[in-house]
Amino acid sequence: LQRPDQIPSALVECDFCICTTSNLARILAPDELPENTIVLDDSRPEAIPRIYDKGRGILVLEGGLLKIRGVRMSYDFGFGNHEEVFGCLGEAYMLACDGGKTLAPTVGDVDIDNFRNMLAARERHGVETGQFRSGPAFVDTSDIARIIRKKHLRELEVNEIEQA
């Protein structure tokens, strides 16, 4: 995409969008998100406000949450203060637990062997996949499936109209 104003039309074409930018301001306002849109925003600061609108089928998820059993956070990063942390903090925790024995930090391209080692290390170090969240709200996986189904049903309806 060449311009931010092209993003909403691109979102209409995608089942699931991932935003991983570094930004100084929000990229989209809530009213710019089209119906039946799911975005995983892994940006900090947030590029897209956290929305969980079941009626319009709009869901903006937190990106890359990991759960570290027993962790006590003294800061709320925008999705509550509990055992879930950003993936980068989870990775730093696993690297510290590992002590340089089997894991290497993720820098640049993803090394598939290191990724597999990280997956294996999760269990050893008490790290689990985090839940789906939109800000502090837990997201029901059935809502994710419903949004994708509604998008495809609308595409079928449009195609039928165009063919008639």
pLDDT at position 114 is: 92
Q: What is the pLDDT of residues 92-119, one digit of tens each?
A: 999 999 999 999 998 888 899 999 999 9
pLDDT at position 164 is: 60
pLDDT at position 98 is: 94
Positions of the chain with pLDDT under 50: none
Question: What is the distance between the alpha carbons of residues 106 and 41, in angstroms, rounded to a whole number?
Answer: 19
b/e burial code for range 126-150 (CB count within 10 A of at least 16 → b): ebeebebbbbeeebeeebbeebeee
pLDDT at position 16 is: 86
pLDDT at position 141 is: 92
